[in-house]
Amino acid sequence: MGRMPKWRCVGSIPEVTFFKPVGIPYRLLEEVCLSVEEAEAIRLKDLEVLEQAECARKMNVSRPTFHRVLGSARSKLADALLNGKAIRIEGGTFEMAVRPFYCINGHRWGVPFQDMITNPPRICPTCETPNIMPIQPHQSGRGWHGQGRQQLRTINNQGGDSDV
């Protein structure tokens, strides 16, 4: 059995997650699926023009892993652009650089990725209630929004998860 993949840190989920060639009906298109971390690799290397070592550090992965993720992303983009395929950005093994949380009293705050790994929040920093919830990505993949209480999990004082 293989090793579990390491979570990759991403700065944001892209606002636009689907692209298609003009003039070709959707039903006739093949799709290429780019993971969120592959999109992040493209953003860091090709838009921010960072060195691969810095990109790898920002994504919390090794340089060879970053190189593989970037190569996979570029290959998929080339396939889509040169062969007239649609591009969908979704899924992957990632965590947000800053994970947003809120409490039942309406306070919101962000927790850095490294802190989520070593010391996840247990109480609201403003009112100290233990009834806190992470804000989940919106179903459409267009950012972070609070969802209905039935769909969230709360982190209680004992450190375990419980359904809300």
pLDDT tens digits, residue range 16-46? Answer: 999 999 999 999 999 999 999 999 999 999 9
> What does DSSP say about strands 132-134 and 98-103: parallel, antiparallel, or unpaired?
antiparallel
Rounded to the nearest integer, the mean pLDDT of the chain is: 82
Paired strand residues for 11: none
Count how many residues are written for the chain.
Answer: 164
Of the pLDDT bands very low, low, confident and very high (cuts 50, 70, 90), residue 67 is: very high
| DSSP calls for 62-103 | -HHHHHHHHHHHHHHHHHHHHHT-EEEE---SEEESEEEEEE
Architecture of domain 8-89: Orthogonal Bundle (1.10)
Residue type at 17 in one-letter notation: T
Collapsing DSSP states into helix, strand and coil, what is residue 155? strand
The 10s digit of each residue's pLDDT in 98-144 is 888 899 999 999 888 778 778 889 999 999 999 998 886 554 443 43
- pLDDT at residue 159 is higher than 60: no
Strand 132-134 and strand 18-19: the pairing is unpaired
Q: Where are the domains of the chain?
A: 8-89, 98-163
pTM of the entire predicted model: 0.66
